Amino acid sequence: MNEITSRLTDATSLDAEPDVDLRISDPAISELSDDMCDCVHPVAVMEARRVLGDAPPAESTAELFAILGDATRMRVLTALASGELCVSDLAVATGVNRTTISHQLRVLRSHRMVHRRRDGKVVYYALDDEHVRALISMAAAHAVEELGDRTNDPDRRLA
């Protein structure tokens, strides 16, 4: 329990003596009580604010998921999870034409999800790092889990 949480818990304890001044002197908690007068769980709200403050901007994370939200790009990334491939091989592996593959690779490169390596006239593409591999793996695992839940639960079956 951090210092703010501890002080807030102590100040709001049911065991507090009636003549104890329960006004909050910590500016962070004071700000919370002024800004969030409707919050039910101020300690949880403070923790959520702390986590949000430490996290990368939501827009950057949302942009990453928007890139992953395209089925063709996901197929390209999934194919590259097996190892590096050139554009022609990616086109054959995914069943998508080379022009579309080239365009998607350009988008993926601009978002640092893939990198390229030239060997003579051939350019090979690979996943940029283990973070990308982990994202693809987790997304696939969740999709399979979600699909399994939908097929097993009559209220959540696919339409």
DSSP three-state, residue 96: coil
pLDDT, mean of residues 137-151? 84
pLDDT, mean of residues 28-48? 71
pLDDT, mean of residues 27-55? 75
**Contact between residue 115 and residue 109 where contact means Cβ atoms under 8 Å apart:** yes
φ, ψ for residue 41, nearest 5 deg: -125, 85
pLDDT, mean of residues 3-12? 47
pLDDT, mean of residues 118-124? 97
- For the record, the structure tokens of 101 come out as 């593959």
Domains of the chain (ranges plus CATH)?
3-54 (no CATH), 62-148 (1.10.10.10)
The pLDDT of residue 88? 97
Average pLDDT, rounded, for the chain: 81
